[in-house]
């Protein structure tokens, strides 16, 4: 789980933020959070530092990689039903459809459409 870290301005912290593929969020002294920021939003590391200073940032959060991110976002934005099946489900099962997926279930695969019964998951 991602945790907020106190911003102290070290080169290591800046590198951690700029190397994050999925981006980062900063929080200022009032507790206001920025949108998700990516290194591609800035012309250089100096511009990242300028943004942090101008925002009076005190903390930052690295966005962790999530292989289901695109499915979660699409389901949240559209309400589209999600298909899921357990690794214990028969392979000839197209899965179970739900509009309220439990993303924390273990040993489950997810899809935006029924699973092809001749292969594993489809996304």
Of 1, 22, 3, the closest CA to residue 60 belongs to 3
Q: Residue 111, Cβ neighbours under 10 Å: how many?
A: 19
| Residues 73-84, mean pLDDT to the nearest whole number | 93
Domain positions in the chain: 5-62, 68-111
**What is the pTM (predicted TM-score) of this model?**
0.64
Which of 24, 80, 12, 89 is closest to 52 using CA atoms? 24
Three-point CA angle 70, 76, 81, nearest 5°? 90
Is the pLDDT at 123 greater than 70, yes or no? no
Reported confidence tier of residue 92, pLDDT bands at 50, 70, 90: confident
pLDDT digits (tens, 9 = 90+) for 8-26: 999 999 999 989 988 999 9
Helices (H) and strands (E) in the chain, counts: 3, 6
Is pLDDT at 6 greater than 70 in this prediction? yes
Residues present in the chain in total: 123
User: What mean pLDDT is predicted for residues 23-43?
Assistant: 93
- DSSP secondary-structure letter at 41? G
- What span, in angstroms and rounded, lies between the C-alpha atoms of 19 and 36? 14
CA 75/CA 100 separation, integer angstroms:
9
């Amino acid at each position: 789980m991602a945790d907020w870290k106190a911003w102290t301005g070290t080169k290591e912290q800046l590198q951690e933020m700029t190397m994050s593929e999925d981006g980062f969020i900063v929080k200022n002294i009032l507790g206001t959070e920025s949108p998700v920021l990516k290194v591609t939003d800035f012309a250089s590391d100096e511009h990242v530092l300028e943004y942090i200073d101008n925002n009076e940032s005190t903390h930052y959060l690295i966005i962790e990689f999530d292989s289901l991110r695109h499915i979660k976002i699409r389901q949240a934005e559209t309400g589209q039903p999600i298909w899921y099946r357990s690794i214990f489900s028969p392979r000839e099962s197209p899965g179970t459809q739900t509009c309220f997926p439990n993303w924390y279930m273990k040993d489950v695969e997810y899809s935006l459409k029924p699973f092809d019964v001749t292969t594993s998951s489809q996304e």
